[in-house]
Amino acid sequence: MRNTDAQTLTRDYLDCRQHSVVVCEALELEDYGLQAAAFASPPKWHLAHTSWFFETFLLKPFTKGYESFHPAYDILFNSYYNAIGPQYPRAQRGLISRPTVSDVLAYRQHVDVAMSRLLTGENHPQWETITQRSRLGIEHEKQHQELFHTDIKYSLSVNPLYPALHPAPHNGAENPPVMADEMQWKAFSGGLFELGIDAEQAGFAYDNETPAHQVFIEPFCLANRLVTNAEYQVFIDDGGYSKPEYWLADGWTIVQKENWTQPMYWKEVQGKAMEFTLFGLIERQTGQPVCHLSGYEADAYANWAGARLPTEAEWEFAARQQTFHAGQGSVLHPPTAACDETQGPLLQLYDSCWQWTASAYRAYPGFRVSEGAIGEYNGKFMSNQWALRGGSCVSSVDHLRPTYRNFFYPEDRWQFSGIRLARNT
């Protein structure tokens, strides 16, 4: 990552920190501690953990005489950094009634004041490391802003009141459904291609996007848009969840165990097809992308449709062939694809749903884990997970780029994850 001047870095830091507080303004006080499952952390925990990150990796090592806000926070808000020390059990984060919300906001203020002082010190002998870690901390907090939306959505969804985080927009379900244009296949020539990015080329890139390396890709085709709710409904109506021939063995096992019959937030209410969203329970829109699917469901649908999921390399190769358009950013629900030839042949690359790929999430050739606890950020998760590409309707616009790699276990469904089909030419 290229160096950043102190003024710009401080501005970016404070803007990011303020945005985390702003996105929580839609919450009621009782919502801050909600945790409906082990994978969904409470909003209050996100606010505290991101502060812990700056305190642990910047203020303690680089600020002489820094006083921790509270020594027990070292355990309460450590997510998974074993080199730092023990962690409070992830599944029990919703039990942390104390510190209170006001205590956590005071903790954030304590950290922000100390970080603002630290970031004025361009003459600090370790300024380059401070810059790099500060930028990582900012981007880390933006990831938690995305997780805030996916986590609170799940926690609210288990309430039979189906509460809304935000009021539905005026162009919501009260208008006639917007149908997506017919899916088209776009051909790509493939060939020798440089996948990923070298760290010195990027304003910022996560370590798992590096190093750039050459791969060979056979000619292939990608669907120009994501699979819609209406198209996925046909898969369901054809018995897709009851036909093992479409499913990977592990996927079929979890379908039987969890009794999956449809996407995570689909509901049938008094004969109407509904969907739980951050706007509450609304009528399902046929033309919108189907989302909150596991990798297993995405793979099964692709098999049923006579297609497949793209590889990471195919997805990035295709994304680089057109002008980058990040989309609106944080629109809270994936919109119907809008035909816009000025964007290029592929729609919904970044602003709708994360797209499952057929690639295992593994290190690129030549990847090296950073020294110390900071190396636990990405490297240790490169096992048993699948790679996803693109971005979603709640992603930070700053994270949307062709090389960005997301990763989840193939059974995970609570993220805004959908399907882009691929096939051989």
pLDDT digits (tens, 9 = 90+) for 3-18: 578 999 999 999 999 9
User: Domain-by-domain residue ranges, the chain?
Assistant: 6-157, 185-424
Question: Which of 376, 311, 318, 383 has the alpha carbon at shortest distance from 347?
Answer: 318
- Which segments of 218-341 are extended strands (E)? 220-223, 266-269, 272-277, 280-283
Quick one: average pLDDT of 215-228? 98
DSSP state of 240: G
Please report, for residues 81, 114, 138, 147, the alpha-carbon distance to residue 10 in angstroms, rounded to integers and kept in the order given: 26, 12, 10, 24
**The CATH number of the domain covering residues in 185-424:** 3.90.1580.10
How high is the mean pLDDT of the chain?
94
H/E element, 13? helix 6-23
What is the pTM assigned to this prediction? 0.95
What is the structure's pLDDT at 376?
81
- 194-195-198-199 Cα dihedral, nearest 10 degrees: 160
CB 81 within 8 A of CB 376: yes
What is the C-alpha separation between 140 and 12, in angstroms, rounded?
Answer: 13
Residue type at position 276: F
For the record, the structure tokens of 386 come out as 């699948």
Taking residues 111-125, what's their average pLDDT?
93
**Which residues are paired to 233 by β-bridges?**
none
Q: Which of 364, 376, 359, 363 shows the shortest CA–CA distance to 410? A: 359
What is the reported pLDDT for 174?
Answer: 44
Q: Which among 304, 298, 325 is positioned nearest to 227, based on CA atoms?
A: 298
Instruction: Kindly tell me the burial class for residue 349, based on how many C-beta atoms sit within 10 Å of its own C-beta (0-12, 13-18, 19 or more).
Output: buried
Alpha-carbon distances of 249 from 211, 256, 295, 297, 358, rounded to whole Å? 33, 11, 13, 12, 15
Beta carbons within 8 Å of 182's beta carbon, 6+ residues apart: none
Q: Is the pLDDT of residue 183 over 90?
A: yes
* pLDDT attached to residue 172: 46
pLDDT band at 167 (very low <50, low <70, confident <90, very high): very high
State pLDDT tens for residues 295-345: 999 999 999 999 999 999 999 999 999 887 666 667 899 999 987 666 789
* 288 pLDDT more than 50: yes
